[in-house]
Each structure stands twice: as structure tokens, then as C-alpha cells.
């Protein structure tokens, strides 16, 4: 944490973040994903900022209640989290360290969280998720193109090139020029559904729509499993 940031333990709200900003002209408050942030101009008196904070208790409580509803709908990572991807598992440990540290080895991503931090704070959750996403992208780049190429050779497909992207709107896509794009969020899918996406995009190199001919080809290359896998993949999401 920089010299311009510090935490303050408020008797009513608990821990809040106080920031000093050279750009700030006035004292201001905001709620970011469940965290109360009080921003002060560089030369403002802290006591004035805390008085302003107390005058906004009711407003803050209302916003925190809304934020809690939103946070409850997303995954929360802590020491008890069990999280796995196609190629690695996650383990979160507490440690005496000044900042978050990540270690990836032999199919295990270990996240070391500083003992001094509340791991459930939105900023801590964001750091953990960014670390997971970074490893997922790296692993997707290592695994998915080779797997796609193996299927192409097995079933006689051809494509121009493949790219790994961060798309959250679709698992994969295939352009009319034969370029296949794969979302690294595919690493959240079970093994057989990864195959489903890869074969789906390869089939589009021959059938660029979802016609009866396309689905007939999909059934052929998936040994008749494409219909059930198509329904199953709808249960999965590109978020974690």
C-alpha cells in the first residue's frame, strides 16, 4: 500500500480505505464492490474527512447492502476454496509477505496472501482472479492449439491459424477465412466439453452455419455425443 493510502477502523463501518489524491479538489466517498473508499485532497485534514464519512452513514449502509447482493452472486476465493481447471488446481495460503505472490508448478497454482490483508476485500479478490486468469491464458496457449491440430489431422479438417483470446461472450469462433479463435476460459470446461468446442469450430471450416449438414458432421466427429454435449455446455459460464 502506498503512502497515499491507509486503512482506518471505523466503529460503525469497520475497515475503510483512505486515499489522498493530487487530483481531488473535494472530499468524496464511493463504494467499490463492497469496500468503502474515502478520498481526500493532499492537504485536507483527515478529521474533516472522517466527519464527512460519519455524516454519510445512512447512504453508505444502503450502498453496502446493494454491493453485498452483487458480491454474493460471484465466486469468493479464500483458504477453503476448491477450484480446478483443465490442467491445474488452485491452493490459497496465508503467508508473511508484503504483497500477493503466485507460484505455478506441476499442475498447482499456489497463491500466497499476506496475513495483514483481508482476503475477502474486493481488491484482494481481483488480484487472485487476475492471477488465475493469467495462468489460464498461458495454459490455454500451451494446450489448446496442439489439441485442435490433432483433431484437424484426425478428421481431415484444415484451418488457417488459431488464436487464444479473452472472450467471455463465446467459447470459440471460426471466421470465413479459416481463423479459429478460442477463449482461454475454455480451461474451465471439463475435458469432453473442451473437445466439443474444438470440434465445433473445426466443423465450421466446412459448414459456416448451423445447418442440418453442420450438426450431422458434428454427430459424426463426436460419435453421436454432440447433442447431449451441446445441452451440457449451457450449464457452464466464462466467469469464476
Give the domains, in start order, of the chain with CATH numbers.
Answer: 5-71 (no CATH), 83-135 (no CATH), 143-233 (3.30.2010.10)
Cα 240 from Cα 225, distance rounded (Å): 27
Q: What per-residue confidence (pLDDT) applies to 11?
A: 87
Coil, helix or strand at residue 150: helix
Q: How far apart are CA 195 and CA 17, in angstroms?
A: 46
Helix (H) or strand (E) holding 41: strand 35-41
What does the buried/exposed string (b/e) look like for 144-164 if buried means 16 or more CB atoms within 10 Å of the residue's CB? bbeebeeebeeeebebeebeb
Predicted confidence at residue 69, as pLDDT, reads: 53
Helix 212-221 to helix 191-203 angle (10° resolution) is 140
Q: How far apart are the first and last CA of the chain?
A: 26
- What does the pLDDT read at residue 214? 96
80: phi > 0 → left, psi -120 to 50 → alpha, else beta; which? alpha
pLDDT of residue 33: 60
The pLDDT assigned to 71 comes to 46
| pLDDT attached to residue 72 | 46
What is the Cα–Cα distance from 239 to 236, expressed in whole angstroms?
A: 9
> Do 59 and 65 form a contact (C-beta atoms < 8 A)?
no
Cell numbers standing for residue 147: 489439441
Each of the 240 residues of the chain gets a pLDDT tens digit; together they read: 445 788 888 888 888 889 999 899 999 998 876 678 999 999 899 999 999 999 999 888 887 776 555 444 456 899 999 899 999 999 999 999 989 999 999 999 999 999 999 999 888 999 999 999 999 999 999 999 999 999 999 999 999 999 999 988 889 999 999 999 999 999 999 999 999 999 999 999 999 999 999 999 999 999 999 999 999 998 888 888
Amino acid at each position: 500500500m502506498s503512502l497515499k493510502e491507509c486503512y482506518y477502523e471505523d466503529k460503525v463501518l469497520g475497515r475503510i480505505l483512505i486515499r489522498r489524491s493530487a487530483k481531488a479538489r473535494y472530499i468524496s466517498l464511493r463504494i467499490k464492490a463492497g469496500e468503502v473508499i474515502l478520498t481526500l485532497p493532499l492537504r485536507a485534514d483527515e478529521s474533516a474527512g472522517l466527519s464527512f464519512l460519519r455524516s454519510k452513514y445512512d447512504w453508505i449502509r444502503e450502498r453496502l447492502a446493494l454491493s453485498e447482493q452483487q458480491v454474493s452472486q460471484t465466486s469468493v476465493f479464500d483458504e477453503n476454496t476448491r477450484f480446478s481447471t483443465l490442467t491445474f488446481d488452485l491452493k490459497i495460503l496465508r503467508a508473511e509477505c508484503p504483497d500477493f505472490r503466485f507460484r505455478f508448478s506441476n499442475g498447482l497454482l499456489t497463491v500466497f496472501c499476506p496475513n495483514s490483508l483481508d482476503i475477502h476485500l474486493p481488491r484482494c479478490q481481483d488480484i487472485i482472479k487476475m492471477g488465475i486468469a493469467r495462468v489460464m491464458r498461458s495454459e490455454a496457449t500451451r494446450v489448446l492449439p496442439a489439441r485442435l491440430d490433432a483433431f484437424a489431422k484426425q478428421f481431415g479438417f484444415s484451418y488457417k491459424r488459431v488464436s487464444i483470446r479473452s472472450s467471455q461472450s463465446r467459447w470459440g469462433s471460426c471466421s470465413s477465412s479459416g481463423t479459429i479463435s478460442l477463449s482461454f476460459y475454455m480451461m474451465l470446461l471439463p475435458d469432453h466439453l473442451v473437445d466439443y468446442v474444438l470440434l465445433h469450430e473445426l466443423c465450421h471450416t466446412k459448414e459456416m452455419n448451423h445447418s442440418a449438414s453442420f450438426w450431422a458432421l458434428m454427430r459424426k466427429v463426436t460419435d453421436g455425443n454432440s447433442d447431449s454435449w451441446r445441452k451440457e455446455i449451457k450449464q457452464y459460464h466464462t466467469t469464476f
